[in-house]
């Protein structure tokens, strides 16, 4: 007998403190409010915060993202998840495609795919219309890239911005309030594409301009060692604090007075949106999907990518004008409330689920 509440499989990669993992958790937390029963399938969920993990249905199989035994793991996983009687598979990112799409095929279920980033020269996404019913792009920029690289058309592609939870916030009067040394920070995966090396160069310029500032880098990744070395070479180790291995970034964002996103490539910038939701003034490179967020200088400041001098100049502007910094933070928070909330994201995603399931019910088989 079919469940009154459809079961959805959210197939994710290894959970890490990054936007795509937060995306999955926000969906899983809210889908029940819209009449769906979510189940997460992933290789590793150890980084999911404990209170949240105990409230979610999560199935882990460490072999899903190992190419040698992936086929066997997908087959065994499909037998286990079949007991949940899912009606749709939602592959959460391109990292989960190698096992998420085969899992949908084993289960003979329609599949929705979310893409957070851009395809490289050698990348591709599955386009089989018998299986892939809808592809969600997290920004217009990512959608346009998918269309040009894969040929996916408007009947398949859908833009749904990643949304963030909106914290309760009386005001942001603590930003640059003069009661402590200002903290300028960034957060996210420490990868070359995130441009954190330019943030460190900007930090040196800010300090050389005789500003008493602390800098915070929250996150971990393959560039962490190189960035620590760069900080030492720039004689910044007494000014820069690295905070790796965090399950989430909220506490780090709240400790910052100014948030910087120095990315060279960025699908949207979920951590930036989180910083804005806390009323933190944001300085970001206008690349990719970020450019659609930083269109209004009253809500966020834009700088060119790979330009440490421009980034330092913007930081100094805000340090020198706390009232303006707080005004930008407040306007940025309002922009997130209006256009980038998790509730909006889930409502739009649920509409996609219902549309896909309705199409299957009327006779479009996988």
φ/ψ of 74, rounded to 5, equals -65, -40
- Enclosing domain of residue 188: 183-339
315 and 356 belong to one structural domain? no
Say yes or no: 13 and 152 in one domain: yes
Query: Do 205 and 281 share a domain, yes or no?
Result: yes
Q: State residue 269's pLDDT score.
A: 95
- What's residue 254's pLDDT? 95
CB 184 within 8 A of CB 253: no
In this prediction, residue 263 carries a pLDDT of 97
Residues 37 and 80 in one domain: yes
Residues 28 and 156 in one domain: yes
Domain membership flag for residue 175: no
Q: Are residues 117 and 216 in the same domain?
A: no
pTM for the full model? 0.94
Residues 300 and 334 in one domain: yes
Residue 216 lies in a domain: yes
In this structure, how many other beta carbons lie within 10 angstroms of the beta carbon of residue 82? 13
Q: Could you tell me if 17 and 45 are in contact, meaning their C-beta atoms sit under 8 angstroms apart?
A: no
Any domain includes 171: no
Give me the pLDDT at residue 18, please: 86
Same domain, 62 and 108: yes
pLDDT computed for residue 45 by the predictor: 95
Residue 43 lies in a domain: yes
pLDDT of residue 363: 63
CA atoms of 65 and 49, how far apart (whole Å) = 22
In a domain, residue 107? The reply is yes
> Which CATH number fits the domain that encloses residue 266?
3.40.50.2000
- For residue 2, the model assigns a pLDDT of 46
Shared domain for 87 and 53, answered yes or no, is yes
For the stretch 126-167, pLDDT in tens is 999 999 999 999 999 999 999 999 889 889 999 999 999 999
Helices (H), the chain: 19-30, 50-53, 70-82, 97-107, 140-150, 196-208, 224-233, 250-255, 270-277, 308-319, 322-339, 342-361
**Structurally, how many domains does the chain consist of?**
2
Q: Is residue 178 part of a domain?
A: no
In angstroms, rounded to a whole number, what is the distance separating the alpha carbons of residues 287 and 166?
24
- Say if residue 262 is in the same domain as residue 159: no
First-last CA distance in the chain: 20
Q: Do 124 and 66 belong to one domain?
A: yes
Whether residue 173 lies inside any domain: the answer is: no
Residues of the chain with pLDDT under 50: 1-2, 365-366
Evaluate whether residue 90 is within a structural domain.
Answer: yes
Q: How many residues does the chain have?
A: 366
Residues 65 and 126 in one domain: yes
């Amino acid at each position: 007998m079919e469940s009154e509440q459809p079961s959805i499989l959210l197939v994710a990669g290894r959970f890490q403190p990054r936007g795509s993992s937060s995306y999955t958790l926000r969906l899983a937390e809210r889908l029940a409010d819209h009449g769906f029963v979510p189940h997460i399938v992933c290789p590793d969920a150890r980084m999911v915060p404990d209170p949240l993990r105990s409230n979610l249905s999560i199935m882990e199989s460490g072999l899903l993202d190992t190419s040698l035994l992936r086929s066997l793991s997908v087959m065994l996983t499909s037998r286990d998840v079949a007991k949940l009687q899912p009606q749709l598979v939602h592959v959460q990112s391109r990292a989960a495609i190698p096992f998420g799409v085969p899992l949908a095929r084993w289960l003979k279920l329609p599949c929705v795919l979310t893409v957070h980033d851009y395809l490289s020269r050698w990348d591709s996404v599955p386009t089989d219309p018998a299986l892939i019913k809808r592809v969600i792009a997290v920004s217009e920029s990512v959608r346009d890239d998918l269309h040009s690289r894969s040929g996916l058309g408007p009947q398949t592609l859908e833009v749904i911005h990643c949304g963030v939870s909106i914290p309760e916030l009386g005001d942001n009067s603590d930003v640059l309030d003069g009661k402590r040394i200002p903290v300028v920070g960034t957060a996210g995966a420490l990868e070359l594409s995130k441009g954190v090396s330019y943030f460190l160069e900007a930090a040196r310029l800010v300090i050389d301009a005789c500003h008493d500032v602390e800098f915070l880098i929250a996150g971990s990744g393959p560039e962490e060692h190189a960035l620590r070395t760069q900080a030492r070479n720039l004689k910044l180790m007494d000014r820069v604090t690295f905070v790796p291995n965090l399950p989430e970034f909220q506490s780090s964002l709240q400790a910052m007075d100014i948030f910087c996103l120095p990315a060279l490539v960025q699908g949207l910038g979920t951590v930036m949106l989180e910083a804005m939701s806390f009323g933190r003034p944001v300085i970001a490179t206008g690349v990719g999907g970020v450019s659609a967020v930083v269109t209004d200088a009253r809500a966020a400041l834009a700088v060119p990518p790979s330009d440490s001098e421009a980034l330092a100049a913007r930081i100094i502007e805000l340090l020198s004008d706390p009232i303006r910094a707080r005004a930008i933070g407040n306007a940025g928070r309002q922009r997130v409330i209006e256009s980038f909330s998790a509730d909006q994201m889930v409502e739009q995603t649920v509409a996609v689920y219902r549309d896909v399931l309705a199409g299957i019910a009327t006779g479009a088989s996988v």
